[in-house]
Structure 1
């Protein structure tokens, strides 16, 4: 049995029967029970290296497993591959020192703690434009003092530590720092009542007020925070696509079960052209999303920089396609699709924010277009140079 097949069995046999009512959070004791069961099934932490208790899958092999996990909003929680922890684990594996990995990565990978990633700030601070970062990191004797306010920090309530993006007040460059949430200078602020519910710890404000950390809290190199953010965010965008495509597959399955049982105007609903149109468009969106995810994962495995660029394309396409699939599934299920009789409305609430999270659709389209025009300009300039060299050589 492949890991994807084992994950499929685990999610259907164990996770689905344990789901809370639509729109509710997963209880802490249920989370622990599901994660223990995932370990027994051999599907826990598929993305983490074996030395930290995971299955050690390369990113090119994540799509099938993450989609199976995402068939339930709480499948990724059970497998410990949910945002923001999954992205933080990858970053810690790639960048952290051995001591930092033992202190932060190991308990995170084992599911003993949770984490958050503190970058987004209130306007006019960092959001879709990380360069607007306003939180400062000031050099002190043997460490750093962090001051600033973050907002919409997913998973912050109840997290054991945060990876914090702050700007060196001297150089202006960004640095990542590891901050324990029991630090006296770390404070959870107002809660943000977002429409999604699957992420433990919500999306609250976080305040850093004279938050002092030692030199060994620096993650990676000083001044390299923006580069590390791209190391983290490219794969994180793609894994969101994987997980939520799994949820879109479930939404379509619910709709297919519905049209199989119902008749309208003297015909089976599955034989009506309007229903078939909606179903066909769902299949097209699912298959094209699956294809761009798989291609991006392969590219990312070979060339992380090119993969990060392609992940913008995947993110835009999948965030819109997944929403459309779930919306059509609701339409096929009629009145029940709008209620808690089915989980579809809660699914829609989970996936709608993806068009904003990890960079808005509009920001990614701008970046995609800018890369395309720059690439074409370089190609044209290179071609002109080659033609001019040929003319000169002939002369």
Structure 2
């Protein structure tokens, strides 16, 4: 098994890809912390923070159909490189503005919007690039290592960003410029066999082709929508400040500990998955992971102990990682190369939407019925959705391999 995993490491340019994504994702987290903190320091207005989040998220929604089409028509490596260099340029402009003392609210919002747009283009192109770097048999393991990037970034990015910002905003933006520039250079040096793709004329049909593809493939539609509703209903992490202050009475340090728990769980699971990849029963494993996710959320909701809450959140992150790896591997292996950009764009939209709307849903429900009941019933609803999806998508439930072997047709 170890030999198989080492084969991933020996792929000539996979290391370039992994390090580049790590630097890019960590830099994004650092910039998000710095931009949000600086906006609040300038305005002392919670609404301004909301607009920063909206500026970063809106491009993903608005550009979904376009970014996928671009990723399928042009060199994906070049797209990733340009996005990373543009982000480095924005960080450099923020650095200069801070040095001359001319930073203001409008500049921060514009920077957040441009960074959000770059991330919207970079995500689908980078995801679609991965299968071109490793043999088909190693895609699932490569996805496991790639998934660890996001978890590392969530753990390291905010911590590094906060530490550097406490010294000076200049240090955060300088570090981001260097990291993103190195990421871009590593991307440039990636070499791969160019896939032969037929470039169709841009039309409304071609723009919506990714959505149509997902709709016509029940296995892909089922796993993407399952993850969407699970995270949407079980988003207890949005309520962590309330649990830390009013229920567990731990203060800011406890909040920080709980915020890292899901990322640590997901990171450890992604690394374990990379060395010991799942070989069969993907469908039952997916539904089992979502059940664990729901149960762990319910455990967190009723916990009155910080250690138990940490363990519950650790399990939330670990079980969610299983879903992410299976979903991402499915998208890569069951989608033709000429469609991967558009399908990955749809996938990214589902992920972003579930995270953002999940926080909103959790906050609204908690406001009506209370924090603990909201988190508990959110976990219960996740389990209910998993059961419903087993009935609605029998081909997903019976799926034995990521190539579509489920004992039932995978195309509707």
TM-score (norm: length of structure 2):
0.31
Larger Rg: 1
More strand by percentage: 1
Task: Pick 1 or 2: higher relative contact order, CA cutoff 8 A, min separation 6.
Answer: 2
